[in-house]
Amino acid sequence: MHIRQFYLDKVLAYQNTEFIKVLTGIRRSGKSVLMRQYADKLIADGVSENDIYYLNFEDLTYNNLKNSEALFAYFKSNIPADHKVYVMLDEIQMVEDWQLVVNSLRVSFEADVTITGSNAQMLSGELATHLSGRYVEIKVYPLSFKEFLIFQEINPDDNIAVQKAFPTYMQYGGFPSVVLSSDTIKDSVLSGIYDTVLLNDVAYRSAIREPVSLQLLTNFLALNVGQQSNPTKIANTISVGKTKVSAPTITSYLSMLENAYLIFSAKRYDIRGREILRSNAKYYFADLGLRRNAIGGKSAGVGGELENLVYIELIRRGYLVDVGQLDAGEEIDFIARRDGRILYVQVTYEIPENSTRETDNLLKIRDQYDKLLITQRAYEVGELSGIPIINIVDWLLEGEV
């Protein structure tokens, strides 16, 4: 089993504290494995297996514990009152009123509690009410390129092997189960993940009786990664023949897709006025393999793929990311903010010969924050008009994960 040390260290930082550790992220991104790795580390450090309570609510074994009263009764009957225990609850959102149980575990027992969930709504409403200030969210993403190399046992210093591996990562993405599958079944595994997220986590749980319009929406988003859009434009585009969908419905569907961590939205940010603009947004997929699956396994343009990859890597590194708006028609691909600092990023497949087009907009920003141009062409590095240029692979290998 490959240890995802970056995430495990985040969990271990809150071991034996009052904070509930909440592992969130798209299905099959590795949350359950991370939880088991935490359990293995505890056992290696001397914790008895009898003091670790791991329940996976997708397992029918625990089907009778999917309401708060039954689950709490289970713990009250099994957890000793005289020493520390470790409670790990996988896909906890499947338990009715689960927030009450988690809060009771914190209050009634000497328990170190870790939970996972595949829907962002679990962090709103009741959880915020009962556990305000007492939980820490650890966002788990599919494998970064750096992790991908580890899983493939490729030395990051072997430039030839790394450059050869990059197109595979772009094509199939970073879901651990996909990365570890043979090439002959990667697409089938991806298709299974996509269908489960879209049809089960979104359509079924939200009681969408006609998922055709939802599928058309995800197809539209996949084809238009990196393009600004809004619910009205999307509704007008996908409403064809007997399939009619309204802008409010699109707004609702977009929220559902984001809650399932299938897509992320980047809002427009007015650099001059220093404010978020309400109209239009860009949408990016959690994983490039899923994006390709959404359009039938085809490529929809390397520019959008690179933008998608950079966006996910930025949020993986802890940045809050928006799309920069300068004057009319002038855009900065990403404004990434973290720890009081700002990074302005432009992404391009290649830099046109004798052209400063890719840096002109960056140079119009008059503050002193860092600016960066990321390109896929390996030989296009150095700087242009004073703006640092870095190859996408080199930039991906700079990250912690």
Q: What is the mean pLDDT of residues 123-138?
A: 77
Residue at 367: amino acid letter: D
| Orientation of helix 159-172 relative to helix 186-195, angle to 10° | 40
Q: Which of 95, 105, 85, 89 is nearest to 36 (CA)?
A: 89
The pLDDT value given to residue 243: 77
Q: Three-class SS of residue 141?
A: coil
Q: What is the mean pLDDT of residues 37-53?
A: 97
Q: What is the mean pLDDT of residues 191-215?
A: 90
The pLDDT value given to residue 385: 80
How confident is the prediction for the chain on average, in pLDDT? Answer: 91
300 against 183, higher pLDDT? 183
Placement of tokens 């990311």 in the chain: 321
The pLDDT value given to residue 81: 81
| Residues 6+ away with beta carbon under 8 Å from 91 | 56, 57, 58, 116, 117, 118
* Highest mean pLDDT (candidates 56-65, 196-205, 317-326): 56-65
pLDDT in tens, 264-304: 999 987 776 666 777 789 999 999 999 999 998 776 667 88
The pLDDT value given to residue 297: 77
Task: Tell me, rounded to whole angstroms, the distance of Cα 61 from its chain centroid.
Answer: 29
Strand ordering across the sheet containing 20-24: 52-56, 85-90, 111-117, 20-24, 135-139
pLDDT at 126 over 60: no
Give the confidence band of 48 by pLDDT, cuts at 50, 70, 90. very high
CB half-sphere exposure, 376, CA atoms < 13 A: 15
pLDDT at 207 over 90: no
The pLDDT value given to residue 379: 67
Please state, for a pLDDT cut of 70, what percent of the chain lies above it.
Answer: 95
Strand ordering across the sheet containing 370-375: 275-285, 263-270, 320-325, 331-338, 341-348, 370-375, 387-391, 382-384
Give the confidence band of 149 by pLDDT, cuts at 50, 70, 90. very high
The pLDDT value given to residue 157: 95
> Whole-angstrom Cα distance, residue 308 to residue 310?
6
Please state, for a pLDDT cut of 90, what percent of the chain lies above it.
Answer: 70
| Residues 6+ away with beta carbon under 8 Å from 255 | none
The pLDDT value given to residue 198: 94
Q: Three-class SS of residue 310?
A: helix
155 against 380, higher pLDDT? 155
Q: Three-class SS of residue 159?
A: helix
> Whole-angstrom Cα distance, residue 93 to residue 288?
26
Q: What is the mean pLDDT of residues 24-44?
A: 97
pLDDT in tens, 85-121: 999 999 998 999 898 899 899 888 999 999 999 988 8
The pLDDT value given to residue 300: 64
pLDDT in tens, 227-270: 999 999 999 999 877 778 999 999 999 999 999 999 999 998 77
H/E stretch holding 279 reads strand 275-285
